[in-house]
Amino acid sequence: MLGDKPDTIMNVDKSSFDAVVEDTTTTIEDIMVADSMIESTEKTVPSSKTIIELLRHGELEGAEIFRGSTDDQLTDNGWQQMVSTINGKDGWDIIITSPLSSCREFAEVIAQEDEIDLEINKEFKEIDFGEWEDKTPNQIIKEDASLLEAWWQSPTQVTPPSGEDFYDFRARVLKAYKEILREYKGKRILLVTHSGVIRVILMNVLGMQDDRLFSLNIDYASFSKIQIEIDDSRDFGTLIKHY
């Protein structure tokens, strides 16, 4: 598959190999010796493939507001959106969820119905919008239109009043993400969370720059599947699907 990490790493002294090739008097025995040099320096790297599937919560009750720490409930439609997204999907070893009701309540039902272990992890909460919490964009425009415009233009560089800095948010999300990859190495994980959390994880996997944050469309009940190959030195992620 495109982007898969090779199972082996070649560590060959190229100059010694080139010397054999360039020598016009090279014999079959010489070539066999060169081949054996390559084989002896080939190192097998132990690795394990982990699957993590990201599910955003569905539609929420209330207006379209800045909603980070605000704990609103799913609408009936929002619940059905999540049901439709995971229809036909199963086989998870662990379900991990944000503690907010929009994610936790659905995760609890799926975990109970399918008899899957459930972990509630506060590090996968949405970014905290501070004084913008529970306010519509129009309300914020009346208070400080220039600050909101600056945030829209550069959400990673501008922080709402008393809100969570983006880089602090990213650090907590990726720290928790790396921890679950190692704790559940080789397992299949369902993570039920929020759009900002999903963006941070996908940007990390895809190697995207921070200023492309809003280039990723994360709809209600969106689903992303990532394959992670982990060895002793790093983890290598591939986005398998996203919708």
Q: So what's the pLDDT on residue 47? A: 54
Angstrom CA distances, 96 to 47, 76, 172, 184, 193, stand at 23, 22, 15, 11, 9
Under the banding of pLDDT at 50, 70 and 90, the label for residue 136 is: very high
Range in 17-21, 34-38, 40-44, 150-154 with the lowest mean pLDDT? 17-21
pLDDT at residue 140, rounded to an integer: 96
Q: Where in the chain is the domain with CATH 3.40.50.1240?
A: 48-242
Q: What is the mean pLDDT of residues 67-71?
A: 94
Give dist(CA 51, CA 103) in Å, integer.
20
Query: Across the chain, what does the average pLDDT equal?
Result: 84
Among 160, 151, 123, CA closest to 214? 151
Q: Quick one: three-class SS letters along the chain?
A: CCCCCCCEECCCCHHHHHHHHHCCCCCHHHHHHHHHHHHHHCEECCCEEEEEEEEECCCECCCCCCCCCCCCCECHHHHHHHHHHHCCCCCCCEEEECCCHHHHHHHHHHHHHHCCEEEECHHHCCCCCHHHCCCCHHHHHHHHHHHHHHHHHCCCCCCCCCCCCHHHHHHHHHHHHHHHHHHCCCCEEEEEECHHHHHHHHHHHHCCCHHHHHHCCCCCCCEEEEEEEECCCCEEEEEEEEC
The answer on pLDDT for 22 being more than 90 is no
Query: Percent of the chain beyond pLDDT 90?
Result: 74
Once rounded to an integer, what is the mean pLDDT over residues 120-142?
A: 97
pLDDT value at position 235?
Answer: 77
The tens digit of pLDDT for each residue in 156-209 reads 999 999 999 999 999 999 999 999 999 999 999 999 999 999 999 999 999 999
What whole-number distance in Å separates Cα of residue 165 and Cα of residue 156? 8
Instruction: Using pLDDT thresholds of 50, 70 and 90, give the confidence band for residue 18.
Output: very low
Residue % of the chain over a pLDDT of 70: 80
Q: Which position has the higher pLDDT, 14 or 122? A: 122
Instruction: State pTM to two decimals.
Output: 0.79
CATH node for 48-242? 3.40.50.1240
Q: How many CB atoms lie within 10 A of CB 198?
A: 22
Model confidence at 1: pLDDT above 90: no
Report how far residue 226's alpha carbon sits from residue 239's, in angstroms, rounded to the nearest whole number. Answer: 5
Categorise residue 160: left if φ over 0, alpha if ψ from -120 to 50, beta otherwise: beta
- CA dist 107 and 54 (Å) reads 12
Question: pLDDT tens-digit profile of 26-53?
Answer: 343 443 344 444 343 334 444 579 999 9
The pLDDT of residue 230: 77
